[in-house]
Structure 1
Amino acid sequence: MNAKSIGLFILLFAVGGIISLAGAHALGWTGKTVVIENTQSPVPTALANFPSSSAAVPTDFVVAAEASVEAVVHVKITAERAQNYYNPFNDLFFGRPSTPQKQEIQGSGSGVILSSDGFIVTNNHVINGAKEITVVTANNNEYEAVLIGTDPTTDIALLKIDAEDLKTIVVANSDAVRLGQWVLAVGNPFNLTSTVTAGIISAKGRDINIIDEQSAIESFIQTDAAVNPGNSGGALVNTGGELVGINTAISSRSGSFEGYSFAVPANLVMKVVGDLKEFGRVQRAFMGINYNELNASLSEELKLTINSGVYVANVLEGGAADEAGIKKGDVIINVDGKQVRTGADLTEAIGSHRPGEQLNVLVNRNGINQQYSMVLKNRLGTTEMLTKEEEIIRSYGAKLSELSINEKRKLGLRYGVKVDEVLGGRFQKAGIPKGFIIVKLNNVYVDDIAKFERLIQQFNPGDGALIQGFETNGKANYYAFEW
């Protein structure tokens, strides 16, 4: 086990709060490495404007705490998880394996009120899989929450409660925070409501590899404010009580706070929230490149004149970077005025914008800095804003439906989705007919439409796709094509 995996235990608090070890195993947790926990750390935007020679640092956090604590809520969830119960009599006398049984579990986390009419931001892992979500405000009022949308790539989710005149939080410019600035973490650790802890900004742009999603954006604010289970989704505020991040993870061997926590920067959070409110999904923008983080050894190997930035290893033909004039071998050092030292810097800079937006990209080419104007594109290579349904339909060109119990019984299937209509695109080119039942995609069973959509999102242009299943007459068939 390497030093990184030893140092970072990421415990996903999709069910927040405290859950027994047996419950954790029921959720499929195995005691593996890293721990997603809310890291609440206040970052004083006010200090961002102080000259570096300023020796006076405010240590009275009363204003910040009072300005933010009423805007932080307790998020409670109810979820169902399948658990296998071993029955030795079934196994011994009937040869039947144990069958999974559904178990209702409770969990909790935190959230931040963004609008007086009840829009609340939290972590995706806090509410993931929840069948019921309850929000408890600082004055102990309870509300049933509706899930507006989620973005697993940033671990952000947006909730809505039916309320008026709620206390809201002011959002700061998270790009302005500086190392060493005081911040407060506000949340509900261990179900202890309205808890405030203090620390400083320890680092920015941290990528700790905890979000297991294609195209994940990890550029965390790192702080040493104490956070624990239940803090996830809570506020990281500066000394003015302004939001600079959403607490998301901790670095720990024990599952509790041991020194460092991580928050999603507020600028990225608000971009995601804006997309979820307007479109119901995030509008992700892409450059269309493959890259490597530059360091001294790679710079020496490639005979470059700089050793910091993002090295362009490949440029996708027709992508945003290609059309802007960026070439393989360039080193990206600045995007729209934001310095780029690492891949985390780059993904945050691009992820904070939508397709169709124009950015200035500064690259170092053969030792000379050159600037290019780049128009970002979506996953499909256009500048349009697409709903999830539009993107999926354009991606593979079909409408799908879940198999009914009778259809599964008739075909003797446990898995599969049906092609209701072929609209063009890849399915039409591959010859997949209406009524075809998809059982496997690239040898992975397709349980439902959501599973199929997750699988296709991992494809890049040119990847091979193999779809296996049954025709309407019950005959097994397969279709192989290039994505």
Structure 2
Amino acid sequence: MSGKMYFGGVEGGATHSNLVICDETGKVVGQAKGPGTNHWALGIEKCASRVIAMLHAAKQDAGIPIDMPLDSLGLTLSGCEQDSSNAELAARVLEGDKYSARKVYVASDTAGSLFTGAPSGGMVLIAGTGSNALLRTADGKQHGCGGWGYLLGDEGGAYWIAYRAVKTVFDDVDGLRAAPHPTHRVWELIREHFNADTRADLLPHSYKHFDKSYFAAYRHIYSSQGSLYQVKTELELVRLRVSSAMGAAWLAAKQVNYDLPRDDSAFCDVFYTYRPSEMLNGNVNGNIKINGKIENGYQGCGCEDWTGVIGYVSVKEKVSAATIVNDSLKGRREKYNFIADVVAVSAPSVVYIEIKDGRRLDLYTGSPITLSNGSGFVVKEDGLILTNAHVVVNKPNAIVEVKLLDGSTHKGVVEDVDLKSDLATLRIPVKNLPTMKLGSSADIRPGEWVVAMGSPLALSNTVTAGVVSSAQRASEELGLRGKDMVYIQTDAPITFGNSGGPLVNLDGEAIGVNSMKVMSGISFAIPIDYVKEFFAKSRSKSPPVSKRYLGITMLSLTPNILIELRMRNPEMPSDIKHGILVWKVIIGSPAYNGGLQPGDIITNINGKPVYSATDIYSLLESTLGRLELEVVRGHKKMSLTVTPEIH
């Protein structure tokens, strides 16, 4: 083949996707990002439309006309394991845009990763919320190696690995099942991660304070207890340096019998090397060489052909396992504490906000009782503070108190409110305050480190860190009707009270305003570019608010949220198909007095089904008197009566 050719590849996950276009030399000429493309969660029609939208954006980026089809397009997407549904998805893409490509090929995201890092054969392990694994031999034969996502099996997933490691240690100590290798180093790592002295100290992490993502964060070592296959040559573990969309493009070219040039050294890094000959010749304890250093703690089997041991080795494990003098670790704390550097710059501008009821006094102190709390941050040195609208738009006669980092408390006055974007400003009578620098949310990338700051549960000056899961999560995906916004999704915990605080990048710039937490590991922030638009608008008066006040913050139930709720609560009634999830109840509000609690699902009001927050607003304005609510709490259905107050 000769002449100009173009090949496309898509890396599609459940939360976000990437698309690249390569020319015939293997050079990337266009790329685009988009939301998740798991067709089991979205439906094939919507999945195809998202792929087409990304393809159009990438063609525009590459300067390719929209009506010029690619020579081949490879889709390696989450959940694409079934040949029949893969063929249907490929057909839908071609039906939706006849100029998309001359050929569309669909395979799993596991295959995309495999052909990005090991086109000549190897094994790939995807360990995320779910998991999957695939082995491809040099002669082209493929074998499944366990893991079918979090609904069917977590084999290879981060939580599964951590669970197996803990269980292996416990069973070994109890004498129930002897571990195949010494476990003392694994136990040391478990104690360090969970801050545990005894095995009983892990029980709260397994029950009362269970957090799957935190549990999964411990995944330093796992060694298989059986033979996976015979290893006769050295084994290399590699991590990808590029998106697996590159592997998808390479696969696409293969489908039209074209060998797309590639530089394997640019695609991945080798971070672990296993040499069985070194373990058998002179290493009686079965030592493994990792990047030139001998690591001990594995016991040899003494057999003629060494049985392969495949493990997950993290940077932390390499450091803790190294038997070198402590002086070699000096300087690491100062060098790698980048989160602490961000906090040092940003914390002085973060404030704690408390909303008090001026009509009700505490019986013991005589002070107004606290209704709710939140966070904010100083944006102008003359005392102007940014926060969420839902933090300060409260009941009549509310008193706003602001506590600064130095401990001083000041009365605040709400100046501007935008309920649609959930943003508000308030001012305190203090000058020369440290301010937060506003960054840009337009260039945020999934995987970027972020720091969430605020005052969750009235605990001032709290810091959590994580990564951006999605830079543009549409409000429609969250069931937020009438917002017409996108949100930053992050796994940095945003707990009640964090609302209004800044989401900060590693340059110490606010790129978002912490807004809400749906569940562990899934939180959302308002992009800072909306804040800049909010500041640019001049307002002569505050926008109108509802005349009837309920006192809850809510989220419409989407199919994805329903699935997650059922996973966390298997006893939840199976006939729940719609409703509103209550994720915060203002203390002292009509909803609070009526018995509503965070986590309740409102399915009907006055006998009418509710599907979105808009339905509740409509009922509030059109109905007088009490509201009869049908609520699901845990596995129980109940009826509650709430009498809204007049604003």
TM-score interval, smaller chain? 0.3 to 0.5
Q: When the two structures are superposed, what TM-score results if normalisation uses the length of structure 1?
A: 0.40
Q: Which of 1 and 2 has higher RCO (CA within 8 Å, sep 6+)?
A: 1
Q: When the two structures are superposed, what TM-score results if normalisation uses the length of structure 2?
A: 0.30
Q: Whose helix fraction is larger, Structure 1's or Structure 2's?
A: 2
